[in-house]
Amino acid sequence: MKLLPNILTVMRILMTPFFVYCLLDESYQIYAVLLFVVASITDWYDGYLARKYASHSEWGKFLDPLADKVLVLAAFSSFVYLGVVKLWMVLVIVIRDFMITYLRSYALKRGRPMMTSVIAKIKTAAQMVMINIILAFIAIQSIKTWEMSSHVSAFVLQYQLIYLGMLIVTTITALSGILYLYDNRRSLLNSSISLNKN
């Protein structure tokens, strides 16, 4: 049972290419929605199992956030390809995530783990909510037989709801990165000093 959280995390990574394939093929976009829902459930469930059975391994601590980032960045990159999301917004998200992941690994190797702020958790939640909203929008567009589909799409596009939502998510993401660096400035500074001494 203690291995199950890590197995679910690996499954989430393995599902990502299938999710992207379905999302980019209009005929299978509804399956992309289902795959993302399943991936989100496994994310919640492996965290639940890890807490319940106290099976927080170092491998799991590394793999779980990596799986989340792979899935999230794959989704946003696909949205850019489909023309639903602006490239610059995704670049902000990608740069923030890679920078923080690198700095966290760097500080951890120096024995100075970095703190995760509340806004970082809000950032993750906001990204997941936005991805689900965009997937719902794409799914509605793909259902040609539903009479309301064109009206819903027109309303979303007219008032730029996807753009405004992504603007909020991008702002939160950038702000979380800045605050993360500020909150952990001492840890990063001490790690840098330690490296220079060696």
Separation between Cα atoms, residue 128 and residue 2, nearest integer Å: 26
Separation between Cα atoms, residue 33 and residue 36, nearest integer Å: 5
pLDDT of res. 194: 52
> 147: how many CB neighbours lie within 10 A of its CB?
7
Please, is 115 exposed, middle or buried when counting C-beta atoms within 10 Å of its C-beta (0-12, 13-18, 19+)? exposed
Residues of the chain under the 50 pLDDT cut:
195
Please, is 3 exposed, middle or buried when counting C-beta atoms within 10 Å of its C-beta (0-12, 13-18, 19+)? exposed
